[in-house]
């Protein structure tokens, strides 16, 4: 393969790369999808279709996240709420335990890195400042990072309660980022791309086939002089940075 054909003449030098984790560095949402599939067959609702149950679970998840934040514990709570609301009954201890068992694999899974992530981060870390920027539960996210073996490539790690415009502005200030040479890299238009562009930094969108439905949104055009790039895989970053 002649890589010079696909690479730009010069790479960006000495940039600050803010990098999302779930479904950008490693698989995440597929484990939740498996738990949801098990939950829906267990519920085996006689009136609502699979799509309707899923729709109701999305509502429960939005409510739980608003009250308790992101993370596996919130997800468990959403499944229980959904079960109780759709069956109009209080759940038995046995069924409660059964539903929770569907989520066991989420926290205990081996971290499954997306293709090329390890070597790409290692190379990028030699030329740029890398900061992991994820949202969710602090303990769960830092535990995943430790288990991933990727911690050495990051100069800092930020676990945010929400990835919105004020959160990005605070991050930019805290790490003294120069907006023109700072990029947010991730799979979610809603959390990674649109708020980063709105906060005045550049963005690299790397779509994942199984992005969480609550993260679905159209990618906005940059509001000003910010740059927006879309890549097919994480390892393609090497061609540009
Ligand atoms: Mg993500």
pLDDT tens for residues 170-206? 999 999 999 999 999 999 999 999 999 999 999 999 9
The pLDDT of residue 3: 44
Between the CA of 127 and the centroid of ligand 1 the distance, in Å, is: 23
Between the CA of 19 and the centroid of ligand 1 the distance, in Å, is: 9
- The two tokens of residue 40 are 């829906």
Between the CA of 210 and the centroid of ligand 1 the distance, in Å, is: 10
Between the CA of 194 and the centroid of ligand 1 the distance, in Å, is: 13
Between the CA of 88 and the centroid of ligand 1 the distance, in Å, is: 34
Q: What share of the chain is helix, strand, coil (3-state, %, to 5)?
A: 50, 15, 35
- Classified by CATH at the fold level, domain 30-108 comes out as DNA polymerase; domain 1 (1.10.150)
Cβ pair 157, 131 in contact under 8 A: yes
Q: How far is CA 184 from CA 17, 133, 136, in A?
A: 6, 8, 17
Between the CA of 166 and the centroid of ligand 1 the distance, in Å, is: 18
Between the CA of 89 and the centroid of ligand 1 the distance, in Å, is: 35
Angle made by CA atoms 217, 162, 107, in degrees to the nearest 5: 95
Between the CA of 41 and the centroid of ligand 1 the distance, in Å, is: 27
User: Average pLDDT, stretch 74-79?
Assistant: 95
Between the CA of 207 and the centroid of ligand 1 the distance, in Å, is: 9
184 membership: H or E segment, kind and range? strand 182-186
For residue 34, pLDDT over 60 is answered with: yes
Between the CA of 165 and the centroid of ligand 1 the distance, in Å, is: 16
Average pLDDT, the chain: 92
Distance CA 166, CA 147 (A): 30
Domain ranges of the chain: 3-26+112-239, 30-108
Between the CA of 134 and the centroid of ligand 1 the distance, in Å, is: 7
Global confidence as pTM = 0.87
- Dihedral angle over CA of 153, 31, 110, 117, nearest 10: -30
The pLDDT of residue 1: 42
Backbone φ and ψ of 40, nearest 5°: -65, -40
172 membership: H or E segment, kind and range? helix 165-174
> Looking at domain 3-26+112-239, what is its CATH homologous superfamily?
HAD superfamily/HAD-like (3.40.50.1000)
Domain pair 3-26+112-239 / 30-108, same fold:
no
The pLDDT of residue 8: 57
């Amino acid at each position: 393969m002649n890589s010079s054909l696909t690479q730009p003449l010069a790479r960006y030098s000495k940039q600050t790369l803010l990098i999302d984790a779930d479904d950008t560095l490693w698989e995440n949402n597929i484990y939740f999808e498996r738990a949801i599939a098990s939950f829906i067959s267990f519920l085996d609702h006689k009136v609502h279709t699979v799509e309707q149950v899923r729709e109701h679970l999305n509502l429960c998840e939005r409510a739980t996240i608003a009250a308790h934040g992101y993370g596996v514990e919130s997800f468990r709570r959403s499944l229980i709420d959904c079960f109780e609301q759709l069956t109009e009954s209080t759940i038995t201890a046995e069924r409660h335990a059964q539903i929770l068992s569907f989520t066991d694999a989420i926290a205990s899974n081996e971290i499954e890195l997306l293709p090329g992530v390890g070597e790409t981060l290692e190379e990028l870390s030699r030329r740029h400042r890398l900061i992991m920027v994820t949202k969710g539960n602090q303990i769960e996210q830092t535990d995943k990072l430790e288990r991933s073996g990727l911690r050495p490539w990051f100069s800092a790690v930020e676990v945010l309660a929400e990835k919105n415009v004020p959160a990005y502005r605070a991050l930019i200030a805290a790490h003294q980022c120069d907006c023109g040479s700072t990029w947010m890299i991730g799979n979610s238009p809603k959390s990674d791309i649109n708020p980063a562009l709105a906060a005045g930094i550049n963005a690299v969108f790397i779509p994942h086939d199984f992005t969480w439905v609550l993260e679905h949104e159209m990618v906005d055009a940059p509001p000003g002089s910010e740059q927006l790039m879309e890549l097919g895989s994480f390892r393609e970053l090497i061609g540009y940075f």
